[in-house]
Structure 1
Amino acid sequence: MEKILIVEDEKKISDIVKSYLEREGFNATAAETGREALKLIKDRFDLIILDLKLPDIEGEEICRSIRGISDVPIIMLTAKSSEDERVKGLGIGADDYVIKPFSPRELVARVKAHLRRTKAGEKKVLSFNKGILIIDAASMEVKKREAPVSLTTTEFRILLCLAERPGAVLNRLQLTNTVQGYDFEGYDRVIDAHIKNIRHKIEDNIQKPVFIKTVYGAGYKFIGVRD
Protein backbone atom coordinates (compact mmCIF):
# COMPACT_ATOMS: atom_id res chain seq x y z
CA MET A 1 0.00 0.00 0.00
CA GLU A 2 1.55 3.31 -1.11
CA LYS A 3 2.04 5.95 1.57
CA ILE A 4 1.03 9.53 0.78
CA LEU A 5 1.86 12.57 2.93
CA ILE A 6 -0.58 15.51 2.72
CA VAL A 7 0.87 18.81 3.94
CA GLU A 8 -2.07 21.22 4.14
CA ASP A 9 -3.09 23.63 6.91
CA GLU A 10 -6.76 23.88 5.86
CA LYS A 11 -8.25 20.90 7.66
CA LYS A 12 -11.34 20.76 5.45
CA ILE A 13 -9.21 20.41 2.32
CA SER A 14 -6.84 17.97 4.02
CA ASP A 15 -9.71 15.77 5.22
CA ILE A 16 -11.30 15.68 1.75
CA VAL A 17 -8.03 14.76 0.03
CA LYS A 18 -7.24 12.15 2.69
CA SER A 19 -10.71 10.63 2.31
CA TYR A 20 -10.44 10.39 -1.49
CA LEU A 21 -6.97 8.84 -1.29
CA GLU A 22 -7.98 6.27 1.33
CA ARG A 23 -11.02 5.39 -0.76
CA GLU A 24 -8.59 4.47 -3.55
CA GLY A 25 -6.56 2.25 -1.24
CA PHE A 26 -3.72 4.61 -0.29
CA ASN A 27 -2.30 5.01 3.20
CA ALA A 28 -2.64 8.78 3.71
CA THR A 29 -1.07 10.83 6.51
CA ALA A 30 -1.84 14.51 7.09
CA ALA A 31 0.35 17.30 8.48
CA GLU A 32 -1.01 20.79 9.18
CA THR A 33 2.31 22.63 9.62
CA GLY A 34 5.69 22.70 7.97
CA ARG A 35 7.46 21.62 11.15
CA GLU A 36 5.20 18.60 11.49
CA ALA A 37 5.84 17.72 7.85
CA LEU A 38 9.63 17.94 8.24
CA LYS A 39 9.44 15.49 11.14
CA LEU A 40 7.23 13.09 9.21
CA ILE A 41 9.31 13.00 6.02
CA LYS A 42 11.99 11.11 7.91
CA ASP A 43 9.68 8.16 7.30
CA ARG A 44 9.44 6.80 3.78
CA PHE A 45 6.58 8.15 1.67
CA ASP A 46 5.82 7.26 -1.95
CA LEU A 47 4.47 10.74 -2.78
CA ILE A 48 3.98 14.09 -1.05
CA ILE A 49 1.16 16.58 -1.64
CA LEU A 50 2.46 19.96 -0.48
CA ASP A 51 0.55 23.21 0.03
CA LEU A 52 2.76 26.24 -0.61
CA LYS A 53 1.05 28.50 1.94
CA LEU A 54 1.57 27.11 5.43
CA PRO A 55 1.34 29.01 8.74
CA ASP A 56 4.94 28.50 9.87
CA ILE A 57 7.25 27.58 6.97
CA GLU A 58 6.86 28.42 3.29
CA GLY A 59 6.13 25.43 1.10
CA GLU A 60 9.07 26.32 -1.15
CA GLU A 61 11.44 25.91 1.81
CA ILE A 62 9.92 22.55 2.71
CA CYS A 63 10.28 21.44 -0.91
CA ARG A 64 13.99 22.34 -0.85
CA SER A 65 14.44 20.45 2.42
CA ILE A 66 12.76 17.35 1.00
CA ARG A 67 14.88 17.51 -2.13
CA GLY A 68 17.97 17.56 0.06
CA ILE A 69 17.22 14.04 1.27
CA SER A 70 14.77 12.44 -1.17
CA ASP A 71 13.62 12.24 -4.79
CA VAL A 72 10.04 11.38 -3.77
CA PRO A 73 7.44 12.83 -6.19
CA ILE A 74 6.01 16.15 -4.94
CA ILE A 75 2.70 17.63 -6.10
CA MET A 76 2.24 21.26 -5.07
CA LEU A 77 -1.12 22.72 -4.07
CA THR A 78 -1.16 26.43 -4.76
CA ALA A 79 -3.52 29.37 -5.06
CA LYS A 80 -0.86 31.14 -7.14
CA SER A 81 -2.14 30.89 -10.68
CA SER A 82 0.58 32.87 -12.46
CA GLU A 83 2.78 30.89 -14.81
CA ASP A 84 5.97 32.38 -13.34
CA GLU A 85 5.04 31.18 -9.84
CA ARG A 86 4.35 27.67 -11.10
CA VAL A 87 7.61 27.54 -13.03
CA LYS A 88 9.44 28.79 -9.93
CA GLY A 89 7.94 25.97 -7.87
CA LEU A 90 8.96 23.36 -10.41
CA GLY A 91 12.40 24.91 -10.54
CA ILE A 92 13.02 24.16 -6.86
CA GLY A 93 12.18 20.50 -7.26
CA ALA A 94 8.42 19.92 -7.39
CA ASP A 95 7.16 17.44 -9.98
CA ASP A 96 3.67 18.79 -10.58
CA TYR A 97 1.20 21.41 -9.39
CA VAL A 98 -2.54 21.70 -8.82
CA ILE A 99 -4.19 25.11 -8.55
CA LYS A 100 -6.82 25.75 -5.87
CA PRO A 101 -9.73 25.28 -6.00
CA PHE A 102 -9.24 21.82 -7.48
CA SER A 103 -11.13 18.60 -8.08
CA PRO A 104 -10.15 15.89 -5.55
CA ARG A 105 -10.73 13.31 -8.29
CA GLU A 106 -8.24 15.07 -10.57
CA LEU A 107 -5.69 15.24 -7.76
CA VAL A 108 -6.06 11.51 -7.10
CA ALA A 109 -5.69 10.85 -10.84
CA ARG A 110 -2.43 12.80 -10.85
CA VAL A 111 -1.20 10.91 -7.79
CA LYS A 112 -1.89 7.62 -9.57
CA ALA A 113 -0.18 8.84 -12.75
CA HIS A 114 3.00 9.79 -10.88
CA LEU A 115 3.11 6.53 -8.93
CA ARG A 116 2.44 4.49 -12.07
CA ARG A 117 5.33 6.13 -13.89
CA THR A 118 7.61 5.74 -10.90
CA LYS A 119 7.04 1.98 -11.08
CA ALA A 120 7.23 1.77 -14.86
CA GLY A 121 11.01 1.89 -15.24
CA GLU A 122 12.26 -1.02 -17.32
CA LYS A 123 15.22 -3.13 -16.22
CA LYS A 124 17.88 -1.53 -18.33
CA VAL A 125 20.96 0.62 -17.96
CA LEU A 126 21.87 3.22 -20.58
CA SER A 127 25.47 4.40 -20.90
CA PHE A 128 26.61 7.40 -22.95
CA ASN A 129 29.85 9.12 -23.98
CA LYS A 130 32.15 6.30 -22.84
CA GLY A 131 30.46 5.90 -19.48
CA ILE A 132 30.38 9.58 -18.55
CA LEU A 133 26.59 9.46 -18.13
CA ILE A 134 24.82 6.32 -16.90
CA ILE A 135 21.04 6.05 -16.54
CA ASP A 136 19.59 3.11 -14.62
CA ALA A 137 15.89 2.92 -15.50
CA ALA A 138 15.00 0.31 -12.88
CA SER A 139 16.52 2.07 -9.88
CA MET A 140 15.87 5.57 -11.31
CA GLU A 141 19.50 6.46 -10.65
CA VAL A 142 21.79 8.63 -12.76
CA LYS A 143 25.56 8.87 -12.49
CA LYS A 144 27.96 11.32 -14.07
CA ARG A 145 31.57 10.16 -14.03
CA GLU A 146 30.49 7.58 -11.43
CA ALA A 147 29.15 10.27 -9.07
CA PRO A 148 25.41 10.13 -8.24
CA VAL A 149 23.26 12.83 -9.83
CA SER A 150 20.23 13.92 -7.82
CA LEU A 151 17.20 14.33 -10.09
CA THR A 152 13.57 14.75 -9.18
CA THR A 153 11.21 12.05 -10.42
CA THR A 154 9.96 14.24 -13.26
CA GLU A 155 13.48 15.30 -14.24
CA PHE A 156 14.48 11.64 -14.40
CA ARG A 157 11.48 10.77 -16.58
CA ILE A 158 12.24 13.59 -19.01
CA LEU A 159 15.91 12.60 -19.24
CA LEU A 160 15.02 8.92 -19.76
CA CYS A 161 12.39 9.81 -22.36
CA LEU A 162 14.98 11.74 -24.38
CA ALA A 163 17.82 9.25 -23.83
CA GLU A 164 15.70 6.33 -25.04
CA ARG A 165 15.26 8.16 -28.37
CA PRO A 166 18.73 9.57 -29.17
CA GLY A 167 18.68 11.93 -32.14
CA ALA A 168 14.89 12.24 -32.18
CA VAL A 169 13.39 15.71 -31.70
CA LEU A 170 10.64 15.68 -29.07
CA ASN A 171 8.46 18.74 -28.66
CA ARG A 172 7.31 20.04 -25.29
CA LEU A 173 3.82 18.57 -25.57
CA GLN A 174 5.25 15.11 -26.35
CA LEU A 175 7.52 15.31 -23.31
CA THR A 176 4.66 16.49 -21.11
CA ASN A 177 2.32 13.70 -22.20
CA THR A 178 5.06 11.08 -21.85
CA VAL A 179 6.15 11.98 -18.33
CA GLN A 180 2.90 13.35 -16.88
CA GLY A 181 0.22 11.55 -18.86
CA TYR A 182 -1.70 14.78 -19.54
CA ASP A 183 -1.10 18.31 -20.74
CA PHE A 184 -1.94 21.54 -18.93
CA GLU A 185 -1.77 25.30 -19.28
CA GLY A 186 1.80 26.56 -19.38
CA TYR A 187 3.31 23.13 -20.05
CA ASP A 188 5.90 24.63 -22.42
CA ARG A 189 7.46 26.83 -19.74
CA VAL A 190 7.32 23.95 -17.26
CA ILE A 191 9.26 21.61 -19.56
CA ASP A 192 11.82 24.37 -20.21
CA ALA A 193 12.31 24.77 -16.45
CA HIS A 194 12.87 21.03 -15.99
CA ILE A 195 15.31 20.88 -18.91
CA LYS A 196 17.25 23.79 -17.42
CA ASN A 197 17.53 21.93 -14.11
CA ILE A 198 18.63 18.70 -15.81
CA ARG A 199 21.32 20.48 -17.81
CA HIS A 200 22.78 22.09 -14.72
CA LYS A 201 23.13 18.61 -13.24
CA ILE A 202 24.49 16.58 -16.18
CA GLU A 203 26.29 19.03 -18.46
CA ASP A 204 29.82 20.35 -17.85
CA ASN A 205 28.98 23.53 -19.77
CA ILE A 206 25.31 24.37 -20.23
CA GLN A 207 26.27 26.77 -23.03
CA LYS A 208 27.80 23.86 -24.96
CA PRO A 209 25.65 20.84 -24.07
CA VAL A 210 26.78 17.36 -25.07
CA PHE A 211 23.64 15.54 -23.94
CA ILE A 212 20.48 17.64 -24.42
CA LYS A 213 20.29 20.03 -27.37
CA THR A 214 17.61 22.65 -28.00
CA VAL A 215 16.12 22.51 -31.48
CA TYR A 216 14.71 26.01 -31.75
CA GLY A 217 11.07 26.13 -32.71
CA ALA A 218 10.76 22.36 -32.41
CA GLY A 219 11.79 21.02 -28.99
CA TYR A 220 14.71 19.04 -27.61
CA LYS A 221 16.81 16.05 -28.63
CA PHE A 222 19.32 13.84 -26.88
CA ILE A 223 22.72 13.98 -28.57
CA GLY A 224 24.78 11.79 -26.24
CA VAL A 225 26.60 8.89 -27.93
CA ARG A 226 25.32 5.48 -26.78
CA ASP A 227 28.08 3.11 -25.62
Structure 2
Amino acid sequence: MRVLIVEDDLGVAKALEAFLGRSGYATARAADGQQALDALGLDTEVVLLDLGLPDIDGIDLCRRIRARTDVPIIVVTARSQVDERIRGLRAGADDFVIKPYDVHELLARIEAVTRRTRPIPVQSDDVIRLHAGAIEVDVVRRTLTVRGENVDLTKKEFDIIAVLARYPGVAVPRDRLIREVWKTDWHGFSHSLDVHIAAVRRKVPQGLVETVRGVGYRLTGA
Protein backbone atom coordinates (compact mmCIF):
# COMPACT_ATOMS: atom_id res chain seq x y z
CA MET A 1 0.00 0.00 0.00
CA ARG A 2 1.35 3.45 -0.94
CA VAL A 3 0.69 6.44 1.32
CA LEU A 4 1.22 10.00 0.09
CA ILE A 5 2.40 12.24 2.95
CA VAL A 6 1.68 15.91 2.29
CA GLU A 7 3.68 17.72 4.97
CA ASP A 8 5.94 20.78 4.74
CA ASP A 9 7.79 20.03 8.00
CA LEU A 10 10.68 17.81 6.87
CA GLY A 11 11.33 16.38 10.33
CA VAL A 12 7.71 15.38 10.84
CA ALA A 13 7.48 13.92 7.33
CA LYS A 14 10.66 11.84 7.71
CA ALA A 15 9.59 10.47 11.09
CA LEU A 16 6.21 9.49 9.67
CA GLU A 17 7.82 7.89 6.61
CA ALA A 18 10.08 5.82 8.88
CA PHE A 19 7.19 4.63 11.04
CA LEU A 20 4.97 3.72 8.08
CA GLY A 21 7.89 1.96 6.42
CA ARG A 22 8.40 -0.19 9.52
CA SER A 23 4.67 -0.95 9.42
CA GLY A 24 4.89 -2.31 5.88
CA TYR A 25 3.75 0.73 3.88
CA ALA A 26 5.39 2.32 0.85
CA THR A 27 5.39 6.13 1.03
CA ALA A 28 5.82 9.22 -1.10
CA ARG A 29 6.33 12.72 0.29
CA ALA A 30 5.22 16.15 -0.91
CA ALA A 31 6.22 19.41 0.78
CA ASP A 32 3.55 21.57 -0.84
CA GLY A 33 0.29 21.39 -2.72
CA GLN A 34 1.73 21.33 -6.22
CA GLN A 35 4.11 18.51 -5.35
CA ALA A 36 1.16 16.63 -3.88
CA LEU A 37 -0.86 16.97 -7.07
CA ASP A 38 2.16 15.89 -9.14
CA ALA A 39 2.79 12.87 -6.89
CA LEU A 40 -0.83 11.74 -6.83
CA GLY A 41 -1.07 8.60 -8.94
CA LEU A 42 -3.11 5.48 -9.55
CA ASP A 43 -0.98 3.64 -6.98
CA THR A 44 -1.74 6.18 -4.22
CA GLU A 45 -4.05 4.44 -1.76
CA VAL A 46 -4.17 6.96 1.12
CA VAL A 47 -3.32 10.67 1.40
CA LEU A 48 -2.19 12.13 4.74
CA LEU A 49 -2.84 15.84 4.27
CA ASP A 50 -1.50 18.66 6.45
CA LEU A 51 -3.55 21.83 6.06
CA GLY A 52 -0.75 24.35 6.67
CA LEU A 53 1.00 24.27 3.31
CA PRO A 54 3.15 27.10 1.87
CA ASP A 55 1.50 27.41 -1.55
CA ILE A 56 -2.10 26.12 -1.43
CA ASP A 57 -4.66 26.18 1.37
CA GLY A 58 -5.03 22.61 2.61
CA ILE A 59 -8.82 22.66 2.36
CA ASP A 60 -8.60 23.78 -1.25
CA LEU A 61 -6.03 21.07 -1.97
CA CYS A 62 -8.31 18.48 -0.38
CA ARG A 63 -11.09 19.61 -2.70
CA ARG A 64 -8.79 19.41 -5.74
CA ILE A 65 -7.59 15.92 -4.84
CA ARG A 66 -11.15 14.75 -4.36
CA ALA A 67 -12.08 16.15 -7.78
CA ARG A 68 -9.43 13.87 -9.32
CA THR A 69 -9.86 10.67 -7.35
CA ASP A 70 -11.78 8.89 -4.62
CA VAL A 71 -8.57 7.99 -2.74
CA PRO A 72 -9.07 8.13 1.05
CA ILE A 73 -7.85 11.43 2.55
CA ILE A 74 -6.94 11.80 6.22
CA VAL A 75 -6.40 15.41 7.25
CA VAL A 76 -3.52 15.62 9.76
CA THR A 77 -3.26 19.10 11.25
CA ALA A 78 -2.73 21.22 14.34
CA ARG A 79 -5.98 23.08 13.59
CA SER A 80 -8.38 21.75 16.21
CA GLN A 81 -11.37 24.05 15.70
CA VAL A 82 -14.62 22.25 14.95
CA ASP A 83 -15.37 24.49 11.96
CA GLU A 84 -12.04 23.49 10.39
CA ARG A 85 -12.96 19.84 10.72
CA ILE A 86 -16.34 20.49 9.16
CA ARG A 87 -14.72 22.36 6.26
CA GLY A 88 -12.28 19.50 5.72
CA LEU A 89 -14.97 16.84 5.75
CA ARG A 90 -17.14 18.85 3.38
CA ALA A 91 -14.15 19.28 1.06
CA GLY A 92 -13.92 15.50 0.76
CA ALA A 93 -11.74 14.31 3.66
CA ASP A 94 -12.54 10.87 5.08
CA ASP A 95 -11.07 11.43 8.54
CA PHE A 96 -9.41 14.10 10.70
CA VAL A 97 -6.45 13.66 13.08
CA ILE A 98 -5.26 16.48 15.35
CA LYS A 99 -1.56 17.05 16.05
CA PRO A 100 0.09 15.93 18.22
CA TYR A 101 -1.20 12.41 17.63
CA ASP A 102 -0.19 8.88 18.52
CA VAL A 103 1.28 7.19 15.46
CA HIS A 104 -0.44 3.92 16.29
CA GLU A 105 -3.80 5.69 16.30
CA LEU A 106 -2.93 7.20 12.92
CA LEU A 107 -2.07 3.72 11.62
CA ALA A 108 -5.41 2.41 12.88
CA ARG A 109 -7.21 5.26 11.09
CA ILE A 110 -5.36 4.48 7.84
CA GLU A 111 -6.49 0.88 8.12
CA ALA A 112 -10.05 1.95 8.92
CA VAL A 113 -10.46 4.24 5.90
CA THR A 114 -8.96 1.67 3.56
CA ARG A 115 -11.35 -0.99 4.88
CA ARG A 116 -14.30 1.34 4.29
CA THR A 117 -13.30 2.54 0.85
CA ARG A 118 -11.38 -0.40 -0.66
CA PRO A 119 -13.11 -3.72 -0.08
CA ILE A 120 -11.31 -7.03 -0.48
CA PRO A 121 -10.27 -7.36 -4.13
CA VAL A 122 -12.16 -10.36 -5.43
CA GLN A 123 -12.44 -12.18 -8.69
CA SER A 124 -15.23 -14.43 -9.90
CA ASP A 125 -17.67 -14.66 -6.98
CA ASP A 126 -15.18 -13.80 -4.24
CA VAL A 127 -12.40 -16.16 -5.30
CA ILE A 128 -8.94 -14.60 -5.11
CA ARG A 129 -6.63 -16.25 -7.62
CA LEU A 130 -2.89 -15.82 -7.26
CA HIS A 131 0.18 -17.00 -9.18
CA ALA A 132 -1.63 -17.87 -12.41
CA GLY A 133 -4.33 -19.70 -10.51
CA ALA A 134 -1.97 -21.96 -8.54
CA ILE A 135 -3.48 -20.56 -5.35
CA GLU A 136 -7.21 -19.94 -4.89
CA VAL A 137 -8.70 -18.37 -1.77
CA ASP A 138 -12.49 -18.58 -1.73
CA VAL A 139 -13.59 -16.02 0.86
CA VAL A 140 -17.23 -17.10 0.66
CA ARG A 141 -16.76 -20.87 1.04
CA ARG A 142 -13.67 -20.19 3.18
CA THR A 143 -11.45 -22.63 1.33
CA LEU A 144 -7.81 -22.58 0.24
CA THR A 145 -6.71 -24.55 -2.81
CA VAL A 146 -3.06 -24.91 -3.79
CA ARG A 147 -2.33 -26.47 -7.20
CA GLY A 148 -5.77 -28.04 -7.26
CA GLU A 149 -5.48 -29.60 -3.80
CA ASN A 150 -7.71 -28.41 -0.96
CA VAL A 151 -5.85 -27.35 2.19
CA ASP A 152 -7.73 -28.05 5.44
CA LEU A 153 -7.44 -24.95 7.65
CA THR A 154 -8.97 -23.96 10.97
CA LYS A 155 -11.03 -20.77 11.17
CA LYS A 156 -8.15 -18.60 12.40
CA GLU A 157 -5.70 -20.15 9.95
CA PHE A 158 -7.99 -19.34 7.05
CA ASP A 159 -8.56 -15.80 8.36
CA ILE A 160 -4.78 -15.24 8.35
CA ILE A 161 -4.43 -16.56 4.78
CA ALA A 162 -7.38 -14.41 3.65
CA VAL A 163 -5.76 -11.24 5.02
CA LEU A 164 -2.41 -12.06 3.40
CA ALA A 165 -4.14 -12.86 0.09
CA ARG A 166 -5.58 -9.35 -0.06
CA TYR A 167 -2.04 -7.99 -0.36
CA PRO A 168 -0.07 -10.62 -2.32
CA GLY A 169 3.67 -10.04 -2.15
CA VAL A 170 3.24 -7.21 0.36
CA ALA A 171 4.44 -7.43 3.97
CA VAL A 172 1.39 -7.32 6.23
CA PRO A 173 2.31 -5.98 9.69
CA ARG A 174 1.74 -8.21 12.71
CA ASP A 175 -0.47 -5.55 14.31
CA ARG A 176 -2.75 -5.52 11.27
CA LEU A 177 -3.06 -9.31 11.24
CA ILE A 178 -3.97 -9.34 14.93
CA ARG A 179 -6.46 -6.53 14.44
CA GLU A 180 -8.19 -8.15 11.46
CA VAL A 181 -8.12 -11.77 12.63
CA TRP A 182 -8.71 -11.35 16.37
CA LYS A 183 -10.57 -8.00 16.14
CA THR A 184 -8.42 -6.41 18.84
CA ASP A 185 -5.34 -4.21 19.26
CA TRP A 186 -4.15 -6.21 22.28
CA HIS A 187 -0.61 -7.46 21.71
CA GLY A 188 -1.27 -10.47 23.92
CA PHE A 189 -2.30 -12.32 20.75
CA SER A 190 1.19 -11.99 19.25
CA HIS A 191 2.24 -15.46 20.43
CA SER A 192 -1.03 -16.92 19.18
CA LEU A 193 -0.34 -15.41 15.76
CA ASP A 194 3.06 -17.12 15.66
CA VAL A 195 1.49 -20.46 16.63
CA HIS A 196 -1.15 -20.20 13.90
CA ILE A 197 1.42 -19.14 11.28
CA ALA A 198 3.51 -22.19 12.19
CA ALA A 199 0.42 -24.39 11.82
CA VAL A 200 -0.37 -22.88 8.40
CA ARG A 201 3.20 -23.46 7.22
CA ARG A 202 2.94 -27.15 8.08
CA LYS A 203 -0.05 -27.44 5.75
CA VAL A 204 1.03 -25.35 2.74
CA PRO A 205 4.02 -25.55 0.37
CA GLN A 206 7.31 -24.36 1.79
CA GLY A 207 7.90 -20.65 1.18
CA LEU A 208 4.27 -19.74 0.63
CA VAL A 209 4.11 -17.69 3.86
CA GLU A 210 7.27 -15.67 4.34
CA THR A 211 8.45 -13.85 7.48
CA VAL A 212 9.44 -10.20 6.96
CA ARG A 213 11.72 -9.46 9.88
CA GLY A 214 10.58 -6.52 11.97
CA VAL A 215 7.30 -6.18 10.08
CA GLY A 216 5.15 -9.30 9.76
CA TYR A 217 4.34 -11.83 7.04
CA ARG A 218 3.59 -11.95 3.33
CA LEU A 219 2.20 -14.41 0.83
CA THR A 220 4.78 -15.29 -1.83
CA GLY A 221 5.07 -17.87 -4.60
CA ALA A 222 3.95 -21.47 -4.39
TM-score normalised according to structure 2 size: 0.52
Aligned length: 124
Match of 1:38 in 2: 37
Sequence identity (%): 43
CA distance in structure 2 between the partners assigned to 1:11 and 1:112 by the alignment: 24
For residues 165-213 of structure 1, give each alpha carbon's deviation from its aligned partner in whole angstroms, at most 9, with x where no partner exists.
xxxxxxxxxxxxxxxx9xxxxxxxxxxxxxxxxxxxxxxxxxxxxxxxx
CA distance in structure 2 between the partners assigned to 1:90 and 1:99 by the alignment: 14
CA distance in structure 1 between the partners assigned to 2:119 and 2:66 by the alignment: 22
Q: Shift in Å at residue 114 of structure 1?
A: 1.5
Q: Shift in Å at residue 79 of structure 1?
A: 1.3
Look at both structures and tell me which one has the larger radius of gyration over its CA atoms. Answer: 2
CA distance in structure 1 between the partners assigned to 2:4 and 2:16 by the alignment: 11
CA distance in structure 2 between the partners assigned to 1:96 and 1:85 by the alignment: 12
Match of 1:59 in 2: 58
Match of 1:131 in 2: none
TM-score normalised according to structure 1 size: 0.51
C-alpha RMSD of the superposition:
2.1
Maintained 8 Å contact 2:4/2:46: yes
Q: Shift in Å at residue 43 of structure 1?
A: 4.3
Match of 1:90 in 2: 89
Structure 2 counterpart of 1:8, which letter? E
CA distance in structure 1 between the partners assigned to 2:35 and 2:92 by the alignment: 20
Q: Shift in Å at residue 84 of structure 1?
A: 1.4
Structure 1 counterpart of 2:115, which letter? R
For residues 6-46 of structure 1, give each alpha carbon's deviation from its aligned partner in whole angstroms, at most 9, with x where no partner exists.
00001111111111111111111111111111111144300
CA distance in structure 1 between the partners assigned to 2:39 and 2:84 by the alignment: 26
Residues 112-127 of structure 1 mapped to structure 2, 5 A cutoff: 112-120=111-119
Maintained 8 Å contact 2:59/2:87: no
CA distance in structure 2 between the partners assigned to 1:87 and 1:109 by the alignment: 21
Maintained 8 Å contact 1:16/1:104: no
For residues 61-80 of structure 1, give each alpha carbon's deviation from its aligned partner in whole angstroms, at most 9, with x where no partner exists.
11111111100000001111
CA distance in structure 1 between the partners assigned to 2:87 and 2:110 by the alignment: 21
- Residue ranges of structure 2 left out of the alignment (5+ in a row): 127-182, 184-222
Please identify runs of 4+ aligned residues in structure 1 that moved more than 4 A: 121-124
Match of 1:9 in 2: 8
- Residue ranges of structure 1 left out of the alignment (5+ in a row): 125-180, 182-227
Maintained 8 Å contact 1:9/1:33: yes
CA distance in structure 1 between the partners assigned to 2:86 and 2:102 by the alignment: 21
Structure 1 counterpart of 2:78, which letter? A
Maintained 8 Å contact 1:7/1:34: yes
Match of 2:172 in 1: none
